[in-house]
Amino acid sequence: MTDQIPQQPYSTIPTEPKDSTLALLSMIFGIAAYVILPFIGSIVAVVLGHMGKSEIKKSAGMLKGNGMATAGLILGYVQLGVFVLSVCVITILALSAGSVSDVFNNINSSIY
């Protein structure tokens, strides 16, 4: 008789994928770009969003959070667009300030 230890069947315990920290931070900074950190928050949201999407893709199903990364990217890019548009408008108004004041002076002088 041989003394053998009975082998137990090998079973894998399915683990639920965790949220990507980078994707979560991207969404948080995307929201913060509208509340606290207008320019810096949007840049951080875009960078972390791309890093989070890459991390999720490379994890082979062990990480989730693609939607959060996408939300962070959208919020960041929209805020960057608003910032660039605002700078353009302010620059145009600053360059044409002399002609705008002339228009208002002409209107004011014609009223009185």
The whole-number pLDDT of residue 109 equals 75
The whole-number pLDDT of residue 12 equals 65
Q: Is 18 helix (H, G, I), strand (E, B) or coil?
A: strand
Question: Model's pTM, two decimal places?
Answer: 0.73
Q: What is the pLDDT along the chain (112 residues), one digit of tens a residue?
A: 566 766 766 666 567 889 999 999 999 999 999 999 889 999 999 999 999 999 999 998 899 999 999 999 999 999 999 999 999 998 888 887 667 667 777 776 777 7
